[in-house]
A = this chain, B = another copy of it.
Amino acid sequence: MLFSTKAEYGVRLMVELGRQPGSAPISLNTVAEAERLPLSYLEHLVAKLRKADLVTSTRGAHGGYRLAKPAELITMDAVVEALEGQIAPMECFHETPEGKVLCSHEFDGDRACSTKLLWTRVQGGVTKALAGTTLAELVEFSAPGGRTEAAIVNAA
């Protein structure tokens, strides 16, 4: 599995928040029941989303969570990264500001790392998919009269 349920549950949580049009905050309990997920586990996940400034919280009775910005401006790479940590195909694959750096096994420098090409391509494919998908799309797609399966193919 590329990702754990942290990403799965967290994305569902975000979609649930994105579905509500109003300005009233939504309690985690509401989300937990709607998605049938354990409340106390969602607490851990929403904490990560809050630290990443993807949701805001209001405490006390009738409190809850809201999206920190419009769903159209939230891309899924930020969401998944907040939940799962840095997204890289491999432990030794580090991104530095100035391009990529490999590798703990790339010794001697007498020849290129044999796996660099592969992981770079994989990295590109994943980030393109994640960064190219907005929360708004997921909300629309999963709506009762949402877009059809064809939308998946079209947006390749």
Contact = CB atoms under 8 A, between A and B. Distances in A.
Contact of A12 (B7, B91, B105): B105
B129 A124 contact: yes
B115 A121 contact: no
Interface residues on A, range: 35 or more
A112 B2 contact: no
Nearest to A35: B105
Interface stretch (A39-47, A48-56, A57-65, A132-140): A132-140
State the oligomeric state as a number of copies.
2
B90 A3 contact: yes
A138 B125 contact: no
Contact of A156 (B4, B15, B76, B124): B124
A120 interface: yes
Interface of A: 1-5, 7-8, 11-12, 15-16, 35-37, 76, 87-92, 105, 107, 110-118, 120-122, 124-126, 128-130, 132-133, 137-139, 141-144, 146, 151-152, 155-156
16 contacts: A1-B89, A1-B90, A2-B87, A2-B90, A7-B90, A11-B118, A111-B142, A111-B143, A111-B146, A112-B141, A114-B141, A116-B142, A117-B133, A117-B138, A120-B152, A125-B125
